[in-house]
């Protein structure tokens, strides 16, 4: 099985070693072989994929220049809208929903020649850290099939790790790109909040949601990010900050780069196997000539509590739209209000209901100040920790997850324990800064560990630069 | 105990969410544990801290980048109606809400 990269695809097409149609067809063959076991894809979009592949092939035939992602087979998380292709959000309530428009990120990928293979499984409405909250069944980790792939973008991570796509889009609200990237042993990145348009992303928590890429290597991550980033008039929170050439900038040497190691991220609760790999990773960064500095981020320990107030509050508001009127499931009743209640009671899964109840509670009269307002204030303190740190260091390095991929079913009965596993990722989500997870070896040669790198807001190039150097120095085989 | 069964029922009503008796009890227990954990935020003195509703700096917000408010044609009404559980063009039909 060929391990394709974006550049590899382009060269092969230009040299006419194979056509874009043959490549897409080969990926559908791979999906046919592995997907029953992995459950990474929920919907395949062959018609649209082959139409796009044929366009690329006709460019090749005419000797015209190829766009940057020409013929690259890409998977898209099922919370991101795709015109004419079923988009379920991993929920029964949207089982038959077919969006009438494309998300901007999808439109931009296709405009650069990418071939959208299909839609990937995820936790329902992106709520979860194991992909076990999907209404369409769990995803298996291709690296260890008795284990979870992480979540919520578990299908997007598993598809790339198993060679069922060259790259994929996921979404990250509290770690949902970085953690599955870590669990499946591939690089995975969220840009700064505002870096990539959220237009067409079906909302979970609007002040936190971000779209970002998975790929098999950091150069491909940078290439995808470069395509989907940038101002979009359809998302007022997408910024006008210019998009630099990430692939050019990431090649710069990292000698002398100041790396902050926050003490709070190495406290108790971390798996010993993870700790050893991360320590080896930090040692490698030192060998590369980076300057390591211990820093303090005093409010880290409050991030999970803050996150689960803000994210559930925003979710309870965003998910009010599923009312059985305009789209999705309806459970009939003679009374309008009973129709709403029954539809939502039947259509949402356990985790989504739990979060709607919690989010409604923290916003309700008498509790708003104690919970929601308090959460927003602590969020400001957490963001300040990051701003202070970036006056002293260029990037911050931490583990992505305190634990390696766990067994299917191991944590499903204890929501709080599942939430606590997001400890290292939610901080950057609340602060709005960019972050990547890069492979940092495997425990006992089997369970992948991810090293997380945070940069200052709109400092994606620095994050990629270090991730690339770490990858090139053999970080993945530590 | 931070949250009672009645609280969960009241909140579920606010959210128009049918919950079974078993769900009410499970969520009460789980959410109680989560709220207990969230209570740790009270260790922090946040007097004088401005609440943060979103992370973008002032010069990056919508105010700085609002697009012109111009009418553009958008012919997706038919496609949108196709997604509705009970459409009657050009309307969405719902159970009767006004008693005669």
Residues 60-89 of B with CB under 8 A from A: 60-62, 64-67, 76, 79-80, 82-86
Say if the Cβ atoms of A101 and B76 lie within 8 Å.
Answer: yes
Rg of chain B over all Cα atoms, to the nearest angstrom: 23
Alpha carbon of A232: minimum distance to chain B alpha carbons (Å): 10
Helix (H, G, I), strand (E, B) or coil at A117: strand
Contact of B18 with chain A, judged by CB distance below 8 Å, is answered with: yes
To 10 degrees, what angle do helices A423-431 and A303-318 make? 60
Q: Which ipTM did the prediction report? A: 0.94
Q: Cα dist. B49→A208, A218, A308, A456, B45 in Å?
A: 20, 38, 20, 22, 9
Which one of B9, B13, B56, B73 makes the best mutation probe of the A interface by having the most chain A beta carbons within 10 Å? Answer: B56
Of B51, B80, B94, the CB nearest to A380: B51
- List domains and CATH numbers for chain A: 6-249 (3.90.1300.10)
Confirm whether A442 is a catalytic residue: no
Active-site residue identified among A45, A130, A153, A176: A176
Alpha carbon of B55: minimum distance to chain A alpha carbons (Å): 6
Say if the Cβ atoms of B51 and A416 lie within 8 Å.
Answer: no
Buried b (16+ CB within 10 A) or exposed e, A341-370: bbbbbebbbebbbbbbbbbbbbbbeebeeb
Strand partners, A74: A116, A167
- Tell me if the pTM is above 0.90: yes
Q: Cα dist. A376→A24, A113, B56, B100 in Å?
A: 46, 41, 14, 46
> What does the pLDDT read at residue A465?
98
Alpha carbon of A321: minimum distance to chain B alpha carbons (Å): 11
Say if the Cβ atoms of B15 and A327 lie within 8 Å.
Answer: no
Task: Outline where chain B has alpha helix (H).
Answer: 5-14, 21-38, 62-65, 77-82
Contact of B9 with chain A, judged by CB distance below 8 Å, is answered with: no
Helix (H, G, I), strand (E, B) or coil at A399: strand
> What does the pLDDT read at residue B57?
74
Give the integer Cα–Cα distance in Å for A239 and B48: 29
Name the strand (E) or helix (H) holding A12: helix A6-14
Give the integer Cα–Cα distance in Å for A305 and A365: 20
Confirm whether A263 is a catalytic residue: no
Q: Tell me which chain A residues have a C-beta less than 8 angstroms from the C-beta of B96.
A: 334, 336
Helix (H, G, I), strand (E, B) or coil at A102: coil
Q: Which residue of chain A comes nearest to B19, CA vs CA? A: A345
Are A204 and A126 in contact by the 8 Å Cβ rule? The answer is: yes
Give the integer Cα–Cα distance in Å for A344 and A108: 34
Q: Tell me which chain A residues have a C-beta less than 8 angstroms from the C-beta of B50.
A: 377, 380
Give the integer Cα–Cα distance in Å for A23 and A6: 12
Give the integer Cα–Cα distance in Å for A30 and A47: 17
Residues 156-195 of A with CB under 8 A from B: 193-194
Nearest to A212 by CA among A201, A200, A228, A199: A228
Contact of A337 with chain B, judged by CB distance below 8 Å, is answered with: yes
Read off the tokens for A166. 């060259």
Give the integer Cα–Cα distance in Å for A473 and A207: 36
> What does the pLDDT read at residue B74?
85
> What does the pLDDT read at residue A240?
87
> What does the pLDDT read at residue B100?
65
Q: Is the peptide bond before A258 cis (omega within 30 degrees of 0)?
A: no
Domain B1-44 has CATH 1.10.20.60: yes
Q: Quick one: pLDDT band at residue B63, thresholds 50, 70, 90?
A: low
Are A309 and B38 in contact by the 8 Å Cβ rule? The answer is: yes
Of B16, B43, B84, the CB nearest to A337: B16
Rounded average pLDDT over B47-64 = 80
Contact of B28 with chain A, judged by CB distance below 8 Å, is answered with: no
Give the integer Cα–Cα distance in Å for A53 and A107: 15
> What does the pLDDT read at residue A421?
92
Contact of B4 with chain A, judged by CB distance below 8 Å, is answered with: no
Say if the Cβ atoms of A330 and B85 lie within 8 Å.
Answer: yes
Q: Quick one: pLDDT band at residue B58, thresholds 50, 70, 90?
A: low
Give the integer Cα–Cα distance in Å for A106 and A18: 25
pLDDT(B62) > 60? no
Of B19, B23, B66, the CB nearest to A236: B66
Q: Tell me which chain A residues have a C-beta less than 8 angstroms from the C-beta of B95.
A: 332-336, 339
Q: Tell me which chain A residues have a C-beta less than 8 angstroms from the C-beta of B67.
A: 233, 236
Read off the tokens for A131. 């992909």
Instruction: Quote the percentage of chain B above a pLDDT of 70.
Output: 91
Of B38, B42, B54, the CB nearest to A207: B54
pLDDT tens, position by position, for chain A (478 residues)?
A: 779 999 999 999 999 999 999 999 999 999 999 999 999 999 999 999 999 999 999 999 999 999 999 999 999 999 999 999 999 999 999 999 999 999 999 999 999 999 999 999 999 999 999 999 999 999 999 999 999 999 999 999 999 999 999 999 999 999 999 999 999 999 999 999 999 999 999 999 999 999 999 999 999 999 999 999 999 989 989 998 899 999 999 999 999 999 999 999 998 889 999 999 999 999 999 999 999 999 999 999 999 999 999 999 999 999 999 999 999 999 999 999 999 999 999 999 999 999 999 999 999 999 999 999 999 999 999 999 999 999 999 999 999 999 999 999 999 889 999 999 999 999 999 999 999 999 999 999 999 999 999 999 999 999 999 999 999 999 999 9
């Amino acid at each position: 099985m060929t391990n394709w990269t974006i550049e590899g695809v382009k060269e092969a097409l230009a040299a006419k070693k194979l056509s874009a149609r043959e490549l897409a067809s080969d990926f559908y063959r791979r999906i046919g072989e592995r997907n029953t076991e992995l459950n990474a894809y929920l919907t395949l979009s062959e018609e649209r994929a082959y139409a796009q592949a044929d366009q690329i092939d006709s460019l090749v035939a005419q000797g015209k220049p190829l766009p940057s992602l020409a013929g690259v087979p890409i998977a898209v998380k099922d919370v991101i809208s795709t015109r004419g292709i079923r988009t379920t959000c991993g929920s029964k309530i949207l089982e038959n929903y077919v969006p009438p428009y494309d998300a901007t990120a999808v439109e931009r990928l296709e405009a650069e020649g990418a071939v959208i293979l299909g839609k990937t499984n995820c936790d329902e409405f992106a709520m979860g850290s194991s992909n076990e909250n999907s209404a369409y069944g769990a995803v298996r980790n291709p690296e260890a099939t008795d284990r979870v792939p992480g979540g919520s973008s578990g299908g997007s991570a598993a598809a790339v790790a198993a060679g069922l796509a060259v790259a994929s889009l996921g979404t990250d609200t509290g770690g949902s790109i970085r953690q599955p990237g870590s669990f499946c042993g591939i690089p995975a990145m969220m840009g700064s909040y505002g870096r990539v348009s959220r237009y067409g992303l079906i909302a979970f928590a609007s002040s936190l949601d971000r779209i970002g890429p998975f790929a098999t290597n950091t150069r491909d991550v940078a290439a995808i990010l470069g395509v989907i980033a940038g101002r979009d008039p359809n998302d007022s929170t997408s910024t006008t900050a210019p998009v630099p050439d990430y692939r050019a900038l990431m090649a710069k040497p990292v000698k002398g780069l100041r790396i902050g190691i926050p003490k709070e991220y190495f406290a108790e609760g971390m798996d010993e196997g993870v700790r050893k790999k991360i320590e080896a990773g930090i040692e490698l960064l030192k060998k590369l000539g980076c300057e390591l500095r211990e820093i303090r981020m005093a409010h880290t320990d409050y991030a999970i509590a803050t996150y689960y107030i803000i994210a559930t509050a925003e979710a309870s508001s965003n998910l009010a739209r599923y009312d059985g009127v305009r789209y999705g499931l309806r459970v009939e009743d003679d009374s309008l209000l009973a129709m709403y209640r029954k539809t939502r009671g039947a259509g949402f899964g356990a985790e989504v209901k739990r979060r709607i109840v919690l989010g409604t509670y923290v916003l309700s009269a008498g509790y708003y100040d104690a919970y929601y307002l308090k959460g927003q204030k602590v969020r400001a303190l957490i963001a300040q920790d990051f701003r202070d740190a970036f006056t002293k260091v260029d990037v911050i390095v931490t583990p992505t997850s305190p634990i390696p991929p766990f067994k299917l079913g191991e944590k499903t009965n204890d929501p709080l324990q599942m939430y606590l596993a997001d400890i290292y990722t939610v901080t950057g989500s609340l602060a709005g800064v960019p972050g990547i997870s890069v492979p940092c070896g495997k425990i006992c040669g089997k369970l992948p560990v991810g090293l997380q790198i945070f940069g200052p807001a709109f400092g994606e190039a620095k994050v990629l630069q270090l991730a690339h150097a770490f990858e090139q120095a053999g970080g993945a085989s530590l | 105990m931070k949250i009672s069964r009645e609280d969960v029922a009241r909140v579920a009503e606010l959210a128009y969410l049918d919950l079974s008796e078993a769900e009410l009890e499970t969520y009460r227990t789980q959410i109680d544990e989560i709220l207990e954990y969230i209570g740790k935020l009270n260790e922090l003195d946040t007097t004088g801290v401005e609440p943060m509703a979103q992370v973008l700096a002032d010069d990056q917000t919508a105010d700085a980048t609002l697009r012109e408010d111009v009418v553009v044609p958008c012919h997706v009404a038919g496609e949108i109606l196709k997604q509705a559980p009970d459409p009657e063009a050009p309307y969405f039909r719902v159970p009767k809400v006004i008693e005669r």
